[in-house]
Amino acid sequence: MNNKSLSGSGNKKKAKILLVDDAPANIKVLVETLKHDYKLAVATNGYEALVDVESQSPPDLILLDVMMPEMSGYDVCERLKSNDKTKNIPVIFVTALNDEKDEFKGFEIGAVDYIIKPVNPAIVKARVKTHVLLKEHTDNLEGLVRIRTRQLHESNFEIVNRLARAAEYRDNETGLHIVRMSHFCSILGKEIRMNEEECELLHYASSMHDVGKIGIPDNILLKPGRLDDYEFEIMKTHTTIGSELLSGHESRLMHMAKEIALSHHEKFNGTGYPHGLKGFEIPLYGRITAVCDVFDALTSERPYKNAWQINDAVAELIKQKGSHFDPAIADLFIKNLSEILKIKEKFSDMPLFEKNEKRRFV
């Protein structure tokens, strides 16, 4: 490969320009014109250019010849613009083709400028400077947008976290249940290859699975024993109450949280509530939350029951595969049990008698 970098001294912060031309004489002219102001890289055909862009630090600007063997400059530009990783790199065509239709085609496929050969060094310098500055400005704006977007996400996540905690304070049995639950869901999200953003959304959205308990009367929500049939029917409505509370906003986070609140008590065999959904009718996020919710509930102490042993809880997950739980999700949970148990230990509840004693003084 003939690809190589050309640069002067002390130019680490200089913009990188990729020069692509199969004629050494043309390359020489461009190098002499730009070498003092930019970090330069050279490719003598379209394939070398694509390799440079995809395998090394991407250039800030590409000067691209049109008429090259095997792969034309138009072909190279179309490849670049069809790739999300390279589509924003500005391309200037440098070519002997001076017909208006050729220039129009260049702009149509995504070039930012079109320079006719033989080149005028002053014009090349001016055009390159303009587009490098535009690229820097665009990058700065995109950076600010990313920062602002992240800040907005963090604000939303904080509001969500406080809303989930509000529901938890009403249901004193839950302790750190929502914290463990959200971490369990994140683990499964990563296991099924959700991207980082989706895993983060799942983490926060799953913490609101029981937010609808805010609307359940105290005499039912805080009853120290098992619920009778009538009380249980009232308790079931926390799914639809939660869904209503989380409705009306189109953000992905709120949409996912609404979906989880409504569906986390559905069962794979269709016997769950509130809508009796079956199998893959149940949203994926709801199926994930169901497994995590039940396992943590089984292995946590409640006023009306002792915490189950881990082996017994795992056996219950296995027993309920295909009836209560999506078999694949249950298997993934068990596969990641060691990591699940680390989370459970890290965010363990205080013993129930200590919790009750503490409440006497609050």
Given the DSSP bridges, would you call strands 113-116 and 39-43 parallel, antiparallel or unpaired?
A: unpaired
pLDDT tens figures, 171-221: 655 558 888 999 999 999 999 999 988 998 899 899 889 889 888 998 888
CB 242 within 8 A of CB 261: yes
Band (pLDDT 50/70/90 cuts) for residue 77 is: very high
Beta strands, E only, the chain? 4-6, 16-20, 39-43, 61-64, 91-95, 113-116
320 or 9, which is more confident: 320
Query: What are the helix and strand counts (H, E) for the chain?
Result: 16, 6
> With 50 as the cut, is the pLDDT of residue 241 above it?
yes
Q: What residues does CATH 1.10.3210.10 cover in the chain?
A: 171-359
Band (pLDDT 50/70/90 cuts) for residue 169 is: low
Question: Residue 18 and residue 61: Cα distance in Å, rounded?
Answer: 6
> With 90 as the cut, is the pLDDT of residue 6 above it?
no
333 or 218, which is more confident: 333
Superfamily of domain 171-359: Hypothetical protein af1432 (1.10.3210.10)
| pLDDT above 90 as % of the chain | 59
pTM reported for the whole predicted model: 0.57
Q: In 3D, which of 175, 213, 144 has the Cα closest to residue 297?
A: 175
- What does the pLDDT average to over 336-354? 80
The region, left, alpha or beta by phi > 0 then psi within -120 to 50, assigned to residue 47 is alpha
For residue 44, give both structure tokens. 């003598």
267 or 222, which is more confident: 267
Backbone angles phi, psi at 176, to 5 degrees: -95, 25
Cα distances (Å, whole numbers) of residue 9 to 6, 14, 113: 10, 10, 29
Sequence-ordered list of residues with C-beta below 8 angstroms from that of 185, at least 6 positions apart, any chain = 202, 203, 206, 285, 288, 289, 292
Q: In 3D, which of 108, 111, 78, 81 has the Cα closest to residue 95?
A: 111
319 or 149, which is more confident: 319
7 or 181, which is more confident: 181
- What does the pLDDT average to over 68-96? 91
If 0-12 CB within 10 Å is exposed, 13-18 middle and 19+ buried, where does residue 228 land?
exposed
Please state which of the four CATH numbers 3.40.50.2300, 3.40.50.2000, 1.10.287.3510, 3.40.630.10 is assigned to the domain occupying 4-142.
3.40.50.2300
- What does the pLDDT average to over 237-250? 88
Q: What is the pLDDT of residue 357?
A: 42
Q: Mean of the per-residue pLDDT values for the chain?
A: 86
Q: What is the pLDDT of residue 360?
A: 38
Cα distances (Å, whole numbers) of residue 333 to 80, 289, 327, 329, 348: 41, 11, 10, 6, 19
- What does the pLDDT average to over 282-287? 97
Q: What is the pLDDT of residue 172?
A: 52
Band (pLDDT 50/70/90 cuts) for residue 160 is: low
- What does the pLDDT average to over 85-89? 89
Q: What residues does CATH 3.40.50.2300 cover in the chain?
A: 4-142
- What does the pLDDT average to over 55-68? 89
pLDDT tens figures, 113-148: 999 999 999 999 999 999 999 888 888 877 776 777
264 or 6, which is more confident: 264
